[in-house]
Amino acid sequence: MSDLNAKINEHFAGFVVRKDLVKAVKGNAIVPTYVLEYLLGQYCATDDEASIQTGIETVKDILRKHYVHRSEAGLIQSTIKEKGRYKVIDMVSVALNEKTDSYEATFENLGIKKVAVDSGTVKQHPKLLVTGVWSIADVQYEFSEDARISPWILEAIKPIQIAKVDFEGFKKARAAFTTDEWIDILMQSIGFDPEAFGRRSKLLQLMRLIPFVERNYNMIELGPKGTGKSHIYSEFSPHGQLISGGEVSIPKLFVNNSNGRIGLVGFWDVVAFDEFAGREKKANRALVDIMKNYMANKSFSRGVTSIGAEASFAFVGNTDHNVPFMLKNSDLFEALPAQFHDSAFIDRLHAYLPGWEIDVIRTEMFSSGYGFIVDYLAEILRKLRSDDFSNRADAFFKVGAQISTRDRDAIFKTLSGYLKLLFPDGGETEEDVEDLLRIAMESRKRVKDQLARIDSTYPDVDFHYTGSDGQKRSITTVEEEEFPQFYHLKPALDPKGQGQEVLDADAERQESGDARVVAQVASAQTSQSPQAGSVAPALEEGHKVFTENRKGVSYDTLFGPYIDGAKRIIVTDPYIRYFYQTRNMMEFVEMVIRRKAPEDQVAVHLVTGPDDGNVMQQRELLESISTACLGSGVDFTWGFDASGAGHARDIVTDTGWKIVLDRGLDIFQAPVKTAGFSLSDRLQEHRMLKGFYVTYVRLTGDESHAS
User: In the predicted model, what is the mean pLDDT of the chain?
Assistant: 88
Same domain, 129 and 175: no
**Average of pLDDT values for 19-29?**
83
pLDDT range class, residue 246, cuts 50, 70, 90: low
Cα–Cα dist 641/574, whole Å: 8
Cα–Cα dist 514/545, whole Å: 10
Same domain, 208 and 348: yes
- Identify the CATH number of the domain in which residue 139 sits: 2.40.50
Residue 54, phi-psi category: left (phi > 0), alpha (psi -120 to 50), beta (remainder): alpha
pLDDT of 536 > 60? The answer is: no
Same domain, 221 and 125: no
| β pairing state of 650-653 and 657-661 | antiparallel
Cα–Cα dist 492/497, whole Å: 10
Same domain, 76 and 219: no
- Identify the CATH number of the domain in which residue 174 sits: 3.40.50
Cα–Cα dist 539/531, whole Å: 19
Same domain, 87 and 173: no
Q: What is the pLDDT of residues 496-507, one digit of tens each?
A: 544 444 444 444
DSSP designation for 567: S
Beta bridge partners of 561: none
Same domain, 367 and 245: yes
pLDDT of res. 492: 59
411 occurs within a structural domain: no
Beta bridge partners of 372: 16
Number of domains making up the chain: 3
475 occurs within a structural domain: no
Q: List, as one string, the DSSP characters of 190-247.
A: TTB-GGGS-HHHHHHHHHTTHHHHSTT-EEEEEE-TTS-TTHIIIII-TTEEEEEGGG
pLDDT of 511 > 70? The answer is: no
Same domain, 205 and 298: yes
Same domain, 652 and 586: yes
Asked if residue 448 lies in contact with residue 461, where contact means CB atoms within 8 angstroms, the answer is: yes
How many other CB atoms are found less than 10 A from the CB of residue 452? 18
Residue ending a domain, among 376, 404, 434, is 376
Same domain, 211 and 83: no
Task: Kindly calculate the radius of gyration of the chain based on its CA atoms and give it in whole angstroms.
Answer: 30
pLDDT of res. 513: 46
- Identify the CATH number of the domain in which residue 623 sits: 3.30.870.30
**Average of pLDDT values for 316-323?**
93
Domain range for 691 is 536-706
Q: Which of 44, 38, 76, 69 is nearest to 58 (CA)?
A: 44
Report pTM: 0.81
Same domain, 180 and 111: no
334 occurs within a structural domain: yes
418 occurs within a structural domain: no
Q: What is the pLDDT of residues 651-695, one digit of tens each?
A: 999 999 999 999 999 999 987 666 667 888 889 999 999 999 999
279 occurs within a structural domain: yes
Cα–Cα dist 310/519, whole Å: 51
493 occurs within a structural domain: no
Asked if residue 667 lies in contact with residue 661, where contact means CB atoms within 8 angstroms, the answer is: yes
pLDDT range class, residue 1, cuts 50, 70, 90: low
Q: Tell me the three state secondary structure of residue 107.
A: strand
Cα–Cα dist 486/508, whole Å: 13
Same domain, 242 and 349: yes
Greater pLDDT, 73 or 613: 73
Q: Which of 203, 348, 220 is nearest to 288 (CA)?
A: 348
Cα angle: 704, vertex 705, 707; to 5 degrees:
65
Residue ending a domain, among 359, 376, 393, is 376
Cα–Cα dist 17/369, whole Å: 8
Residue ending a domain, among 114, 140, 159, is 159
- How would you write 4-61 as a 3-class SS string? HHHHHHHHCCCCEEECCHHHHHHCCCCCCHHHHHHHHHHHCCCCCHHHHHHHHHHHHH
Q: Which residues contact 393 (CB under 8 A, 6 or more apart)?
A: 399, 412, 415, 433, 437
Same domain, 215 and 332: yes
384 occurs within a structural domain: no
450 occurs within a structural domain: no
Q: What is the pLDDT of residues 275-303, one digit of tens each?
A: 998 888 888 888 999 999 999 999 988 76
pLDDT of 579 > 70? The answer is: yes
Phi and psi at 50, nearest 5°, equal -65, -40
